[in-house]
Chains A and B, each alone.
With several copies, the nearest count.
Chain A
Amino acid sequence: MIVRVLFFGATASLAGVRSLDISLPDESTAETVLGQIKNKFTKLGSQRLLYSLNQTYATGDEIVRDGDEIAIFTAVSGG
């Protein structure tokens, strides 16, 4: 299955991309996606990261499905 991964702000800058599609085995969790992304983009490894699944904050054990959208980012700084 294919999951879309998005980066914003500092993570987009560190990863050097704003989005990519990654291929995963079925029944993967959100945490698995985060691990794969950290392996692929080693600069993200030192960051304290937050992530969302389908535009809702993820805790990690959510099962991701084909076509899902995961965003990976640092602590928000709006306002």
Chain B
Amino acid sequence: MYDFAELTTDPINIDSVARRVVPPECGATVTLDGYARKFTKDKSTGGVRETLYLEYEGYEPMALKEMEKLIEAAKGQFEISNVGIVHRLGKLEIGETSVVISVASPHRRAAFEACEWLIKELKRTVPIWKKEVYADGEHWVEGEFSDTPA
């Protein structure tokens, strides 16, 4: 078993995530690396705000369960070998990696598809929240609402 779902408050090294999913019969790994943006658009005003840093909070046991469910679902849906997901929690400086998803597969097409599906679903279902901290305040970001996240 090379699959894993983890939460960490330490910086994430992309190489160490991507390399852990590599099995000998595989040909390619696709990795999605998300990180804290410096500038975000305020949906209500349309203006651009500068973020000083971010804080991620997770409902940790449920977040891990949801990440594991996503891995299982992806492996049922795509021709992939292994999946690794690591999400960071706590305070993140601008530009630091918040999430890494690596998918290894014999044929790269499936790895691209599965990786894109996984990040979309993770943003919809995994109970983690992001707070943006500005010079003059802070804001808990709300995701897209869906009646049935899972």
Contacts and interface: CB of A to CB of B under 8 A. Distances in A.
Interface of A: 6, 8-10, 12-13, 48, 50, 52, 55-57, 59, 71, 73-79
Contacts of A73: 59, 127, 129
Given A55-B62, A74-B129, 18 more contacts: A8-B59, A8-B129, A9-B57, A9-B129, A52-B62, A52-B127, A56-B150, A57-B125, A73-B127, A73-B129, A74-B140, A76-B149, A77-B130, A78-B122, A78-B126, A78-B129, A78-B130, A79-B126
Interface of B: 34, 56-59, 61-63, 65, 87, 98-99, 119, 122-131, 140-146, 148-150
Nearest to B146: A75
A71 B125 CA distance: 14
B70 to A, nearest CB: 12
Contact of A56 (B57, B65, B124, B144): B65
A28 to B, nearest CB: 21
A77 B65 contact: no
7 contacts: A50-B145, A73-B129, A74-B129, A75-B146, A76-B143, A78-B127, A78-B128
A78 B70 CA distance: 14
The winner among B99, B122, B127 for most chain A CB atoms within 10 A is: B127
